[in-house]
Amino acid sequence: MKNHIVFFFLLFFLNKGVLAHELWLEKNSNVEDKTLIDIMIGQNFKGTPFGYSNDEKEKLFLDNNNITKDIEQRDGNFPAIQIKLNNNYFNVINYESKYSFLEYDDIKAFEDFVKEQNFLDILLSYKPNKLPTENYKRFSKILISNSDDFFQQQSKLNFEFIALNSPFDKRNEFFEFKLMDKGKPLGNFQVTIFSKTEENFIKEIIETKPNGEGKIRVFDDRVYLLSAVKIFKPNFIQNLKSKSDWISHWASMTF
């Protein structure tokens, strides 16, 4: 019964178009031979875990050394993702949502969102007398490993972070990554870095290099979330499907 309640609350929460539509994958625990992973929705690395919904999922797969395997889950799973992993390998779990539609409650909420993501040119082109509508899609990854094993993932999502080294390898003082948009590096683009311990929360904004690469210093006692958001006007074909003023793509990576 609990799983069904969580599942329907998830559908209600998403269909209402909640503005806190940051989504990320966060490790919950290990139970027997399974790794449990939450689908989190919230802001500033604080969120609520939701049950699994096939209606909301476009793709869910495990990538090991660029060999992918679809992950099948049951509706209402809580924690959402429950999978057997060999932690002696570098595991990349990839989740892509379907598009969700929202209408902003007020103009200021949209303006604040656009300013936060550094798309100031949008403020010159939107209609301030009309509540904006948006279709948004999330592309989320979590890296899991207990070893120094590493492979560089090939681009498989339309908007995504690619790890260039392993954050679990103690020899690496910095974690290096590349931001990709439709298989091409996205340079000079804003990336928000969240990290947290049991007591502290840190937020930092950086910009990718012209080649789409970036790096951050990593510390053993922290959990990290990398986030990037792309906001754009739908083209003619997209508009026929989305019927919204704007489209946003959200990329996240946690470890």
DSSP letters along 135-158, please?
Answer: EEEEEEEEEE-SSS---PPPP-SS
CA distances from 91 to 84, 94, 145, 253 (A): 11, 10, 6, 13
> Which pLDDT belongs to residue 17?
41
Q: How confident is the model at residue 241 (pLDDT cuts 50, 70, 90)?
A: confident
Residue 225 bridge partners (DSSP): 194, 254
> What pLDDT shows up at residue 160?
98
Q: What is the separation, in whole angstroms, between the first and last Cα of the chain?
A: 31
pLDDT of 98 above 50:
yes
Is the N-terminal amide bond of 210 cis, ω within 30° of 0? no
List, in sequence order, every residue forming a beta bridge with 175; answer none if it has no partner: 216
3-state secondary structure of 177: strand
Q: Is the pLDDT of residue 7 over 90?
A: no
pLDDT value at residue 11: 44
Determine the longest span between alpha carbons in the chain, in angstroms.
56
Q: Residue 160 and residue 178: Cα distance in Å, rounded?
A: 8
Query: For the segment 74-92, what is each residue's pLDDT rounded down to a tens digit?
Result: 999 999 999 999 999 999 9
The answer, yes or no, to whether residue 159 has pLDDT greater than 90, is yes
Q: How far apart are CA 32 and CA 136, in angstroms?
A: 36
CA of residue 71 relative to chain centroid, distance: 17
Query: Which phi and psi (to 5°) does residue 77 adopt?
Result: -50, 135
DSSP, residue by residue, 89-149: S-EEEEEEEPPEEEE-SSHHHHHHHHHHTT-GGGGGTS-TTS--EEEEEEEEEEEE-SSS-
* pLDDT over threshold 50, residue 1: no
